[in-house]
Structure formats: C-alpha cells, structure tokens
A = this chain, B = another copy of it.
Amino acid sequence: MAPEACVARLSLYARELARLAHQRVGYVSSRRLAQQLGLTDTQVRRDLSTFGQFGTSGRGYEVQRLHDRLTAILGVSGRTWNVALAGAGNLGSALLAYRGFKERGFLFRLVVDADANKVGRVVQGHAVASAHDLTQIVRRHDIHIGVIAVPVEAAQAVCNQFVAGGVRAIVNFAPIHLDVPPTVWLRVVDLASELETLAFYLARTTKFETATP
C-alpha cells in the first residue's frame, strides 16, 4: 500500500490540476507542479510513478486526464462518502461550513454533540443530534468516516464509539493521541504542527531586511 504522505500529496496534485483545468491549461510539467506545491520535481515524478505511467511527450502531463486518473485513484471520483462529525463547537462549525468537502463527495450525514444545549439546534444547515448511543446511530447511518472535533477529554470515548459502530476511517482534530485497532485508518490533524514547520524556516532566515520600516 502506498505510504500515507504520498497519498496526501496525490490529493494536493489533484487540487492543483483541478485549478489548472479550470484555467483551461492543457499541459503541465512536473517542474511547474512541484513549484506550485513547494515540492521537488523528483518528488512529483516519483509519487506519480507509484500509481502508473502518466508521463507524456515533452509537453508534460495532460492536465484533465491526470486529474481524472488521480481522483479515481483517490477514490473520490463519482462516489460519495458518509461522514459523521462529533463536536458542533467552533471547529466543528467551521468544518461544516467548509465548501471543499461536499465538492469532493464527503457528505456530513450526522452531527452530534454531548452538550444538551446544542442538541436540536441547526448548525450550518445540519441538525445537531445527541451523542448518546453514538455507536448505534453511526451504524444506522452507515458512516464511512468519523471526524473528531470534541474536547481532548472526550476524544478517546468518541473514537471508541465510532469504531464500535463500524467506522473504518477517523480524522482526529483533538490534540491528543488516540488508540485505534489496526483495522482502522487514523489521520491526525495537528494544527500547531503547521506553525512549527514555518518556525523552522523562519528560524533559519533573517527577516530584518523586510521587517524594518
């Protein structure tokens, strides 16, 4: 199975190709793709070669065709996935409002919260259900992907209920390590890690030449 980091990059390639196709760009080189995404040419070529023979003549990759092949490989072409969100707070609300999900076939079928004051309210067009009996309702809605946007203290319990309800893929936004069985795919979104990556580069470059008025 392809490494997770490589699959995550496929998703980036697909998005960039969609953007180029929208601009009616016909062909793109691995170099241009790499520049746009902050990667090296070699990385791009290696990633794509993992999944097939996409190269063409000297003109580069055919934008629309590569886009269609990559989305098919990613499993987001022509199908939808049922997503459950646990946690209808600020982060949960932001996720429900995020337009990229629906476009790529990820449909929020279920939104739950443990807070009785939130249950029954409508958040971004979704009625918030009680997190009580989460295992059963997850199973009833045939949920494929569970998104955890609850406080740290509740995250492992929600995760366990997702798993017990048959969810095989979980995205965790809570800044805590979660234990899942080996049959479950877990993605951890660490927001602070994004800033750390930038701090690395900032710590190695002087900004005085532009920061001083």
Using a CB–CB cutoff of 8 Å, the interface residues on chain A facing chain B are: 1-5, 7-12, 14-16, 19, 36, 38-40, 43, 73-76, 81, 83, 89-91, 93-95, 97-101, 103-106, 139, 142, 144-145, 147, 152, 166, 168-171, 175, 177, 183, 185-205, 207, 210-213
Contacts and interface: CB of A to CB of B under 8 A. Distances in A.
Contacts of A38: 4, 186
A115 to B, nearest CB: 15
Number of copies: 2
A7 to B, nearest CB: 5
A172 B78 CA distance: 28
26 contacts: A8-B193, A8-B194, A8-B197, A11-B196, A12-B190, A12-B193, A15-B190, A15-B193, A75-B196, A75-B203, A81-B199, A81-B202, A83-B195, A94-B94, A98-B175, A99-B175, A100-B190, A101-B192, A101-B195, A104-B196, A105-B199, A106-B199, A168-B207, A169-B201, A169-B202, A189-B191
A64 B165 CA distance: 38
Given A3-B40, A73-B200, A200-B7, A192 B104 contact: yes
B202 A98 contact: no
Contacts of A8: 193-194, 197
A16 B25 CA distance: 42
A141 to B, nearest CB: 11
Contacts of A100: 175, 190-192
